[in-house]
Amino acid sequence: DAKTTQPPSMDCAEGRAANLPCNHSTISGNEYVYWYRQIHSQGPQYIIHGLKNNETNEMASLIITEDRKSSTLILPHATLRDTAVYYCIVRPNAGGTSYGKLTFGQGTILTVHP
């Protein structure tokens, strides 16, 4: 599976947009980019995923570069409750022995401050 690289930590002011980058330079054609977050002592929460087009839902937007080697998760108006560890994960969607698995890296600790 392709590995991802994320900054270990980021800060954001409440009400501002939080832009979390992720590098996945070895991503292959059948692999999707998924984002999850984990608030302290809870299970991870699904945020969004995409293949090559930009995606938006009620939680966030996902911008994937044209070469698919990197992506950015955007929380448009961060709140204090968005403080969490954000995981960028590349996952094969079909076929192979590892399809369906999520391999969690260290993620980015996002701290939203007043």
Partner 1 sequence: GAVVSQHPSWVICKSGTSVKIECRSLDFQATTMFWYRQFPKQSLMLMATSNEGSKATYEQGVEKDKFLINHASLTLSTLTVTSAHPEDSSFYICSASTSGGFQIYEQYFGPGTRLTVT
Residues that bind partner 1 in the complex, under the rule CB under 8 A: 36, 38, 41-46, 49, 87, 93-95, 99-107
Toward partner 1, which CB reaches closer, 16 or 101?
Answer: 101
- DSSP assignment of 43-106 equals --EEEEEESSS-EE-SS-EEEE-TTSSEEEEEETT--GGG-EEEEEEEEE-SSSTTTT------
CB of 6 to partner 1, least distance (A): 11
CB of 88 to partner 1, least distance (A): 12
Q: How far is residue 34's CA from residue 14's CA, in Å, rounded to a whole number?
A: 24
CB of 83 to partner 1, least distance (A): 16
Toward partner 1, which CB reaches closer, 79 or 106?
Answer: 106
